[in-house]
Amino acid sequence: MDPRLAVLMRQFELERLEVNLFRGASRDIGSPQVFGGQVLGQALMAAYATVTDRTVHSLHAYFLRRGDFNQPIVYQVDRSRDGHSFSSRRVIAIQNGEQIFTFSASFQAPETGLEHQVDMPAVPTPDALPDFSRPTDEIAARLPEKMRRFMLRERPFEFRPVEKTDFLRPHVGPPLQNVWFRTVDRLPDDEVLHRCLLAYVSDFGLLSTAARPHGMTFPATNLVMASIDHAMWFHRSPRVDDWLLYSMDSPSAAGARGFARGSIYRRDGVLVASTAQEGLMRMVQS
């Protein structure tokens, strides 16, 4: 397995401390605090460890404090309810004796019923787009230090955006973006792993959609952005080692907060998940 993906896989191998208590390792991806997607994915993995024969269909989370990527995170799971068809779990993430994150998720036994979905946007295929996992050396050398550190980190996912972003001269654009993504290597056929990794990667780029109408890119030197909450609904089985389209838009920004939502499609146009997020968007003196 590609070493970049192997490192991420080890992050999802939580240590079981007690029946409902788990510990996960953190990793520096170039952001000033623990990446929100990491906590989201690990919390889902901890909740999954207390559920049998059911799959997650929705989750809702709040980011309370910055996480320190130099320390592990402890996840405490509350088995709220196990019903005939659904199971509910609440998870608290703890560092240094303080809650940094709260999370709730619902799991469902397999069931069939009515189906429909909206169509996938008409966008170029990933084969027609360049890999944008990292900027060229020429562009990287001209980026501010904060942005360069974030952009040059090795990532376990490949990203191919449909809309171009000029990090040196960002321009005002519509509050939407479409990005194809997949892991850099194949993964085991494990439904739990694919759903947890989808939760992880769903935090990449979502909130930055709200900065596009203001001619800003993340991480910008004079804009503080941080996730406040994150919601996700799983409609159908995903495979994150095959191309998925993340179609995002931002209906509003107000009160130093930006709101964004997303739809995640398989390459064949099947909608596998939906997301929504509100985050801090605070202007500071540069």
| In contact, 225 and 211? CB cutoff 8 Å | yes
Whether the upstream peptide bond of residue 110 has omega within 30° of 0, thus cis, is no
The answer to whether residue 227 is catalytic is yes
* Catalytic hit among 31, 202, 227, 263: 227
Residue 9 tokens read as 């896989």
How far is residue 260's CA from residue 217's CA, in Å, rounded to a whole number?
15
Give the whole-angstrom CA distance, residue 215 versus residue 236: 35
CB-CB contact of 39 with 217 (8 Å): no
Q: What residue has token string 């973006």?
A: 177
Of 203, 241, 250, 274, the catalytic one is 203
**Cβ neighbour number for residue 27 with a 10 Å cutoff:** 14
Does the annotation count 203 as an active-site position? yes
Dihedral angle computed from the Cα positions of residues 202, 207, 210 and 211, in that order, rounded to the nearest 10 degrees: -120
DSSP 121: P
DSSP string across 205-231: STGGGGGGGGT--SS-TTEEEEEEEEE
Token pair belonging to 88? 């509910």
The one-letter code for the residue type at 178 is N
d(C-alpha 50, C-alpha 129), whole Å: 41
Helices within the chain (DSSP H only) = 3-11, 36-48, 137-142, 145-151, 191-201
Active site members: 203, 227, 277
